[in-house]
Amino acid sequence: AVFAPGGATLLTASRDATARMWNTDTGGCLHSLLGHRGAVLAAAFSPNGMLVATASSDETARLWEAVGGQCLRVFSSGHVGNIFSAVFSPDGARLLTASNDGTARVWCVESGDCVRTLHGHCGVVWKAVFSPDGTQVLTASSDGTARLWSSDSGGGFGVFGDSDAGYGAGMLTAVFSPDGAQVLTVSTGGEAKVWLASSGEALCTVGGEAFVRSAIFAPIRQGRAVGTPAGV
């Protein structure tokens, strides 16, 4: 679940093949986004809050109006398999998806065309995100690595982790620090690691005593907030 910019609306994704928008003051459902033929695995607002993107097990992503809930576009003819994440670029012009077909894809929001396919992982790509300035893409895969790419050319910039060593057997997620200088990953082994984005050097490891499922950077002072199943 994610908040819209401003926090007045909450967006949820469900296995019932819908995403829903909720009024955070009243708890009432504002819109149900209907059209997917499989579970909706992720949903995100555009930076200006005017659009919503959804990702589904039906092998498509969809673009919706946040006001009204009308489906504007279907992103298809690309992934083969579940699409696990869909996020907008910082300028809202591109959509980034990740799939169990081992790729991430960059799409033009206006046309719906796939403009870049990121090949290189040898496992499921669970997550893909843009850097804060939109010039790079970070992917996390079940192959035990996270990878850094150019969002324009699709060229690879670096690899975090070791697919041969099997860091925790896989990467569940990966995110940038607010300034883009560091990368934070979470493995299926329950550890969170901080890496230097420019060199791939591992800076520190968090976890071990508690099984970490998600981790994010705090918005100020480059701090890190780590989440566990207990919500700590």
Half-sphere exposure of 28 (CA within 13 A, CB side): 3
Count of C-beta atoms within a 10 Å radius of residue 102: 20
The rounded distance, in Å, linking the Cα atoms of 83 and 165 is 26
pLDDT at residue 199, rounded to an integer: 92
pLDDT at residue 189, rounded to an integer: 83
pTM (predicted TM-score) = 0.90
The rounded distance, in Å, linking the Cα atoms of 24 and 92 is 24
**DSSP letter assigned to residue 69:** -
Closest by CA to 118, choosing from 129, 110, 12, is 129
101 alpha-carbon distance from chain centroid: 15
Name the 3-class secondary structure at 167.
helix
Contact, 192 vs 185, CB < 8 A? yes
- Residues ≥6 apart with Cβ < 8 Å to 64: 19, 33, 51, 52, 53, 54, 70, 71, 72
The rounded distance, in Å, linking the Cα atoms of 95 and 83 is 13
pLDDT at residue 166, rounded to an integer: 45
Give the mean pLDDT per block of 10 residues along the chain (232 residues). Answer: 95 98 97 97 98 97 96 92 97 97 96 95 96 97 95 92 61 94 91 92 79 82 52 34
The rounded distance, in Å, linking the Cα atoms of 173 and 186 is 5
Contact, 107 vs 94, CB < 8 A? yes
SS (H, E, C) 93-156: CEEEEEECCCCEEEEECCCCCEEEEECCCCCCEEEEEECCCCCEEEEEECCCEEEEEECCCCCE
Encode pLDDT of 164-188 as tens digits.
544 446 899 999 999 999 999 998 8
The rounded distance, in Å, linking the Cα atoms of 216 and 101 is 26
pLDDT at residue 164, rounded to an integer: 54
Backbone angles phi, psi at 82, to 5 degrees: -55, 140
Written as six digits, the tokens of 53 are 């993107």
